[in-house]
Amino acid sequence: MSLKGARERTVSTGGVDLCVAELGDPGQPTVVLVHGYPDSKEVWSEVAGRLADRFHVVLYDVRGHGRSTAPRPLRGGFTLAKLTDDFLAVADAVSPGRPVHLVGHDWGSVQSWEFATVARTEGRIASFTSMSGPSLDHFGHWIDARVKRPTPRRVGQLLGQGAKSWYVYLLHTPKLPELAWRGPLGKRWPGILQRVEKAPGGDYPTSSLPSDAANGAWLYRDNVRARLRRPRPDAYAHAPVQLITPQGDAFLSERLYDDLERWVPQLTRRTLPAKHWVPRTRPDQLAAWIEQFVTAVEGNRPAPKTTARHSDRFGGQLVLITGAGSGIGRATAFAFAEAGARVVAVDRDTEAAARTAELSRLIGAPEAWAETADVSDEQAMEKLAERVHREYGVVDVLVNNAGIGLAGSFFTTTPDDWRKVLDVNLWGVIHGCRLFGARMAERGQGGHIVNIASAAAFQPSRTLAAYSTSKAAVLMLSECLRAELAARDIGVTAICPGIVNTNITSTARFTGVDEAEQRRRQKRSARLYGLRNYPPEKVAEAVLTAVTTNKAVVPVTPEAKGSHLLSRYAPRLLRRLARVEPKL
């Protein structure tokens, strides 16, 4: 990694020389990025590059790390008070007279919580974005509350975090961390990151790693035990805070932040389906959230709301939905919009797509666009993908929803009927997964694909041979893709609705009948589905929940759940039910 085009300077404070790098226009708001342990400022290179077009970006090597010198002696040289002195010296050098926007990861976040809560920095910090590093004061009060008022749930939380903190105990052991980092651990660390965190490890700056990591052990020794035993009672943040929590963090429990509103009057919460080293694995999402937050604070606007369901997870993400002009597709677009996502509504009906995009903006999407495409048309989908990637970026969540209905006997279903239903229901999904999923995989920062299948995928019917075949293929495609893309942190979900009140019934085709009978059956099906009255909004909610929890197969509606259970535990009964001829 490297900070291309960075301007470097040295800031001297408290007997150490800090290496400071700057990117972007100094006339723009200043964003200060503080790294963690055992990193150096280069851990931020991907995030910094993405922010430099909009902001004055500043990075510095924490004392004893990278190209900054270490205090002598080491013991007592890494206290939070001295780290605060370093931050103020950097802030005064790079942004005199103007508050800075602070961003910290891991120990960079731990020390930044100190900066954002002590009185002497008040007025120097405009906002603070925290990730993977709690305030030691808040942590101390969190422990104290669970020790003094134990319940089974609180004791479980305490024990769970204690297990995650195993490395803290080792770092307090005399000499052992220094020997480990100067031995095999220092040499193998990049490979460990690559395997465990799925973070790029081959370009990790290893030349100073052993000494940096050995020095950094004193961050723990100088601060952790003392502050956890006697946490400050007045550790209130004096600036707006954005908390970004990786859901797969191996070192910190999400429960650590349960009481954070007590300490932070202006709090915005975000969650990421990622592990600990998010500056390296999720730079696009971090940069987008930091930019959104800083821009809101600079403009004296309210910080992005994260009170709506799922808004902490999807706020600012780019979501593309096919078949978004009506039914489940439109409801799903609205659900993502309410969660603060940016929405691309795709439909072959231009006016319907435009209406969905317009309403999505009114509901809460910061941006929403309408695109026209027939998912069965390979060339049209290729042009759509090219346009979306060029104008809006790589999609974070793809929802392949577009579909058509077809009913009738296998022997009255013509080859043309088969082609039409497979072109939309199966090939439309294949085109979406191939064109948008490939870019997700190339980006290497995770994502999620949702394919709308159907309960018909596992529930045979004597009148739905073509439709059920197309949906069963979508289900198996989803399972195969899920296996292939798991290593790239891309989830794949098959949503399997049952009878949902949408207009698919009024547009479904029936084979082997004349036009008059076609219309009669369409009206009857629409009436029956209307009487069932299961709203598409419930399917949309299932989509967002499935992405959040990374579920593989999600049957929706009671009958879909029942059929799914029968398909697994009583398939013979399901086959008998399939023989019943429905009254049309």
Claim to verify: residue 399 and residue 252 sit in the same structural domain:
no
Q: Based on C-alpha coordinates, what's the Rg of the chain?
A: 27
Among residues 345, 273, 335, the alpha carbon closest in space to that of 309 is found at: 335
Question: Which of 298, 323, 354 finishes a domain?
Answer: 298
When divided into structural domains, the chain yields a total of 2
Claim to verify: residue 288 and residue 332 sit in the same structural domain:
no
Question: Which of 237, 270, 298 finishes a domain?
Answer: 298
Residue 583 lies in a domain: no
Structure tokens at 208: 């100073």
Claim to verify: residue 153 and residue 198 sit in the same structural domain:
yes
Claim to verify: residue 251 and residue 337 sit in the same structural domain:
no
Q: What is the mean pLDDT of each run of 10 residues along the chain (584 residues)?
A: 83 96 97 95 95 97 96 95 98 96 98 97 97 96 94 94 91 86 78 71 60 91 95 96 95 93 94 94 95 94 75 94 96 96 97 98 95 97 97 97 92 95 97 97 96 95 93 98 96 94 70 76 68 86 96 95 94 90 68
Q: Rounded CA gap, 474 and 357, in Å? A: 27
Q: Rounded CA gap, 489 and 450, in Å? A: 14
Claim to verify: residue 244 and residue 207 sit in the same structural domain:
yes
Residue 38 preceded by cis peptide, ω within 30: yes
Claim to verify: residue 149 and residue 210 sit in the same structural domain:
yes
CA atoms 323, 328, 334, 337: torsion sign:
negative
Claim to verify: residue 196 and residue 136 sit in the same structural domain:
yes
In three state form, how does the secondary structure of 519-579 look? HHHHHHHHHHHHHHCCCHHHHHHHHHHHHHHCCCEEEECHHHHHHHHHHHHCHHHHHHHHC
DSSP assignment string, 417-467: HHHHHHIIIIIHHHHHHHHHHHHHHHHTS-EEEEEE--GGGTS--TTBHHH
Query: What pairs with residue 268 in β-bridges?
Result: 242
pLDDT value for 530: 64
Q: Which domain holds residue 489?
A: 313-578
Among residues 265, 338, 339, 335, the alpha carbon closest in space to that of 302 is found at: 265
Residue 305 lies in a domain: no
Residue 356 lies in a domain: yes
pLDDT value for 204: 53
Claim to verify: residue 294 and residue 373 sit in the same structural domain:
no
Claim to verify: residue 317 and residue 464 sit in the same structural domain:
yes
Residue 49 lies in a domain: yes
pLDDT in tens, 411-460: 999 999 999 999 999 999 999 999 999 999 999 999 999 999 999 999 99
Claim to verify: residue 368 and residue 472 sit in the same structural domain:
yes
The catalytic residues are: 467
| Residue whose pair of structure tokens reads 């090219």 in the numeric block | 386
Q: Cβ(401)–Cβ(376) under 8 Å?
A: no
pLDDT value for 466: 95
pLDDT value for 202: 45
Residue 168 lies in a domain: yes
Claim to verify: residue 270 and residue 340 sit in the same structural domain:
no
pLDDT value for 131: 97
Neighbours of 495 (CB within 10 A): 29
Whole-angstrom CA distances from 176 to 154, 169, 185, 228 are 32, 11, 12, 23
Q: Cβ(246)–Cβ(276) under 8 Å?
A: yes
| Residue whose pair of structure tokens reads 């049309």 in the numeric block | 584
pLDDT in tens, 161-219: 999 998 898 899 888 888 888 877 777 777 777 777 766 654 455 557 888 888 999 99
pLDDT in tens, 69-124: 999 999 999 999 999 999 999 999 999 989 999 999 999 999 999 999 999 999 99
Claim to verify: residue 12 and residue 132 sit in the same structural domain:
yes
Give the CATH number of the domain where residue 158 resides. 3.40.50.1820
Beta strand segments in 121-255, E = 125-131, 241-246
